[in-house]
Amino acid sequence: MAEGRVEFSNIPPEVEQYIKALEAESEEWRRKYEYALEEIKELLHHRFGRSSERYIEEGQQELFTIDEAETVRKEEVSERTETVEVRGHRRRKAGRRPLPKTLPRVRIYHDIAEEDKVCGCGAVRQKIREERSERLAVIPEQYYVEEHIRPIYGCKRCEGSGDEGKPAMLVAPAVASLIPKSIVTPSLLATVIVNKYCDHMPYYRQARRFYRQGIWITRQDMSNWTLKVYEKVKPLIELLEEEVRRGPLIQMDETPLQVMREANRENTAKSYMWLARGGPPGKGVVVYSYRESRSADFPKEFLSGYKGYVQCDGYESYESAVKGVAGIELVGCFAHVRRKYHKAWVTSNKRSEEAERGLKYVQRICGIGVCQVKGSVNSNSR
């Protein structure tokens, strides 16, 4: 008799079939119940738990055990090895970090009064040492106007008739400008674009900063300048994309974003920013590309002519983009694999042991990869 089940003899076949159906239904509901509990636990962890996916094994034990024979071999080796003293770890010194040596220094001396330099015995006090402290000072942004002056020359005597091969009046050529007939300079464009895309400062905030200095630059002005700069640097972007495809590996991903007041699209429509990272070893390049959809059109277009590995997540567009293309192989990301194990580890009591074993495998593999990278860097430095 099976444990937890009562068996009867001489049960009609239809009753026995009904009992089996009830047992199957009970097992199905039990699985649904356990799945619902795991889902609730995951939601509670997502809402109130830590967002970090950090995992540290207690006691710093072996990351995983293959089999008993392996364990016996390790014990035999440990019995034969001698105990050695391990050098202590290098710790970061607490306290304030020093200011960069590349910054210019302005020395300000704070000396005592001349009468205090004479001791009570009549001798002159000698300087023993100096106490130094550093403070960081800031010069606010300075705006100035470049006034370009071009003298115009002409001959009053012949009014140009003496040299028919040249114009009657001569003037130096106009200074080249990235955006002709505008007030912009390279420094102004660099400031606006860095503030916008590196420091995430919207145009309206930049306009307020200019206005506090008495300078009238509108959001529309800065937007138009950015679009014109993009047209100018588009050949450079194409060169960077070619550089990405020169490497043996390309990492790709996409993230959603919303674009307001885009032509022929609702403000609630979802667009995507695609990222591609690659390039020859030691010369990494990252390229961002905006697209209105998440379809396979962009990876298919970007990977045209490329031969090598493409590392990405499990989104089906990547597989569709390289399907039937020779020379391209998709490889997964262990960060995504590890996330599934971590999710099961924090939410499932039943599968916690198996999930923890998977975390240990991934941790060991990533540790091997880090050691290999550090070893290659050290060998290159030598």
Q: How far apart are CA 231 and CA 224, in angstroms?
A: 11
In a domain, 213, yes or no: yes
Q: How far apart are CA 315 and CA 60, in angstroms?
A: 35
pLDDT of 379 strictly over 50:
no
What total number of domains does the chain contain?
A: 3
* Helices 186-197, 203-212: inter-axial angle, 10-degree rounding: 130
Q: Is 127 within the bounds of a domain?
A: no
> Are residue 279 and residue 317 in the same domain, yes or no?
yes
Rg, Å, the chain Cα set:
36
Q: How far apart are CA 184 and CA 227, in angstroms?
A: 14
The domain containing residue 216 runs over which residues?
180-244
Pair 273, 251 in one domain:
yes
Average model confidence (pLDDT) for the chain? 82
Residues 303-338 have pLDDT tens digits of 999 999 999 988 899 999 998 889 999 998 888 888
The mean pLDDT value for 12-21 works out to 84
* 211 in the same domain as 193: yes
The per-residue pLDDT for range 188-246, each reduced to its tens digit, is 999 999 999 999 999 999 999 999 999 999 999 999 999 999 999 999 999 999 999 99
Per the domain annotation, does 104 fall within a domain?
Answer: no
pLDDT per residue as tens digits for the range 157-184: 887 777 777 888 899 998 889 899 899 9
Per the domain annotation, does 45 fall within a domain?
no
Q: Could you give the C-alpha distances from 133 to 95, 99, 127, 159, 240, in angstroms and in order? A: 14, 11, 18, 69, 45
284 domain residue, yes or no:
yes
- Looking at the chain, the whole-number percentage of residues with pLDDT higher than 90 is 47
With respect to residue 71, please indicate whether it lies within any of the assigned structural domains: no
**Are 221 and 272 in a shared domain?**
no
Determine, yes or no, domain membership for 286: yes
DSSP annotation string for 137-171: --PPP----------EEE-TTTTTTT-TTS-SEEE
Q: Which long-range contacts (CB under 8 A, 24 or more apart) does 113-121 make?
A: none
H or E element in which residue 272 lies: strand 271-278
For 259-296, write each residue's pLDDT tens digit: 888 888 898 899 999 999 999 988 899 999 999 999 99
301 pLDDT above the threshold of 70:
yes
